[in-house]
Each structure stands twice: as structure tokens, then as C-alpha cells.
């Protein structure tokens, strides 16, 4: 809900939720009140799973930030990714900070913890799952181009690694493909949760863009 300061010389507008206790303007101290003249214009398009989209599972290798993990859970839920493997020291939804940023997504995305990334990937390979690691290096391919190489109806595991050291080389060597997101700025990387969200949506829906 949007609230507005009643002071005509101020008029500050701020969003508040039912849990917020603020009743005065943070700018001038006057009373604030709900602006009931604003109607929500948010539009959400729901995409149905029809069997043609690549089936992506998430693999998180030694992610240290619980907030990043929660954000990845939320991206998974939005992109229709229903499995997350939490490896090594990656926090699980038993951690309150994970739940804080997941906003309930942890309830609809199946997760399991395993201390060994290699064990998880070897099991996946035995089941015919294609493994992609989101990582840099000379052998990495541009993900925008690589998404065209995902076979129809193929199950693909997307691995993201530690915020500092990336994907463990012992696990990355099992990957069928190493991919990266192209950069335009001077920084060499994105926040891991941001990078995962971009990659997950590209892998799930990227081919839809080319079809239109």
C-alpha cells in the first residue's frame, strides 16, 4: 500500500506493509495516510509447463550467504525450477535468513543437502542429466549462445559456486559445459544470486524469445 504525507509542502509518498508501524512522515514528521486512489496495475503472466521447456535443476556449491540462497530459492520458484541441491556449507531453509529472502518459495521448491558436490553430480550423470556450470575461464561459452544447444525436453543441472572462489574445480570438471554471462561494465562478475536468476530464466525461457 502507498502512503502519502498529509503536509501539502511535503507530500512524500512511501510504500508500507501491514507489518510496518510507521505513522509519521520520515521527511517532515507529519501524519501519513493510505492513498486509496491508487489501484494496482501489476500484471503477471503465468506460463504453463507444457513439456517443451528445458527442465532445469539448481545446484548450489558452497554458497556462504544465506540471503543469496533465499534469493535463489525465490528465482527458482518464479522460473518453475522445482529442485535445488544444496552442497557443502550452503545454508538450508532451516536458516532464518534463507527463509527471510525466500518469502515462502522454500515451501514449494524441493531441496536436499549433500556435503559432496561431486557425489551429487556423479549421481546426476548416471541418470543422464546434462550438467552446466556457471563459471568463467577460457573454456567457458557465452550463455546467450549456448542455450540453443539444450536438447528438447532435456534435464539440465545449473551449478553456481561460492561468492569468492566460484564452483569447486573438482565438481566443475564433471560439467558437460561451462557457461558465462557477458559483461559490459568494468566489474568481472555479478552477485551469485543475480547471476543465477538471469541464467535460470535464460535456460528456461530463452528459446521462447527467438521464436517470437
Domain assignment present for residue 48? The answer is no
- For the chain, the domain total comes to 2
What is the reported pLDDT for 39? 56
Cα 183 to Cα 201: distance, rounded to the nearest angstrom:
17
> Do 98 and 30 have their domain in common?
no
Q: For the segment 104-128, what is each residue's pLDDT rounded down to a tens digit?
A: 999 999 999 999 999 999 999 999 9
Look at residue 41 and tell me whether its pLDDT is greater than 90.
no
What is the reported pLDDT for 168? 92
> Do 94 and 194 have their domain in common?
yes
Contacts of 25 (CB under 8 A, 6+ apart): 5, 7, 10, 12, 31, 32
Domain assignment present for residue 104? The answer is yes
Domain assignment present for residue 73? The answer is yes
Global pTM? 0.84
Q: For the segment 54-81, what is each residue's pLDDT rounded down to a tens digit?
A: 899 999 999 999 999 999 999 999 999 9
Cα 144 to Cα 206: distance, rounded to the nearest angstrom:
8
Residue 1 domain boundaries:
1-40
Strand arrangement of the beta sheet that strand 141-142 belongs to: 110-114, 83-87, 55-61, 155-160, 130-134, 177-180, 141-142
Give the helix/strand (H/E) hosting 62.
none
What is the reported pLDDT for 21? 72
> Do 151 and 105 have their domain in common?
yes
> Do 3 and 96 have their domain in common?
no
> Do 76 and 165 have their domain in common?
yes
For residue 61, give the CATH number of its domain.
Answer: 3.40.1280.10
Q: Share the mean pLDDT of the chain.
A: 90
Cα 105 to Cα 78: distance, rounded to the nearest angstrom:
9
> Do 34 and 60 have their domain in common?
no
What is the reported pLDDT for 211? 57
Higher pLDDT, 125 or 23: 125
> Do 108 and 147 have their domain in common?
yes
> Do 96 and 190 have their domain in common?
yes
Look at residue 139 and tell me whether its pLDDT is greater than 90.
no
Higher pLDDT, 12 or 52: 12
> Do 29 and 76 have their domain in common?
no
176 phi/psi in degrees, rounded to 5 = -75, -25
> Do 87 and 21 have their domain in common?
no
Q: Are 38 and 15 in contact (CB under 8 A)?
A: no
pLDDT (mean) for 37-59: 77
Amino acid at each position: 500500500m502507498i502512503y502519502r504525507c498529509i503536509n501539502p509542502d511535503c507530500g512524500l509518498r512511501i510504500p508500507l506493509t501491514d507489518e510496518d508501524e510507521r505513522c509519521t512522515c520520515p521527511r517532515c514528521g507529519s501524519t501519513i495516510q493510505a492513498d486509496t486512489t491508487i489501484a494496482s496495475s501489476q500484471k503477471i503472466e503465468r506460463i504453463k509447463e507444457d513439456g517443451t521447456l528445458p527442465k532445469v535443476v539448481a545446484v548450489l556449491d558452497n554458497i556462504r550467504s544465506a540471503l543469496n540462497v533465499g534469493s535463489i530459492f525465490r528465482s527458482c520458484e518464479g522460473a518453475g525450477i522445482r529442485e535445488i541441491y544444496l552442497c557443502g556449507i550452503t545454508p538450508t531453509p532451516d536458516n532464518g535468513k534463507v527463509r527471510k529472502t525466500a518469502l515462502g518459495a522454500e515451501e514449494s521448491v524441493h531441496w536436499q543437502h549433500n556435503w559432496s558436490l561431486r557425489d551429487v553430480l556423479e549421481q546426476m550423470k548416471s541418470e543422464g542429466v546434462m550438467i552446466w556450470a556457471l563459471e568463467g575461464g577460457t573454456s567457458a561459452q557465452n550463455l546467450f549462445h549456448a542455450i540453443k544447444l539444450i536438447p528438447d525436453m532435456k534435464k539440465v543441472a545449473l551449478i553456481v559456486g561460492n561468492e569468492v572462489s566460484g564452483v569447486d574445480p573438482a565438481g566443475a570438471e564433471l560439467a558437460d559445459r561451462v557457461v558465462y554471462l557477458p559483461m559490459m561494465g568494468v566489474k568481472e562478475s555479478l552477485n551469485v544470486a543475480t547471476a543465477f536468476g538471469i541464467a535460470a530464466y535464460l535456460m528456461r525461457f530463452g528459446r521462447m524469445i527467438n521464436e517470437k
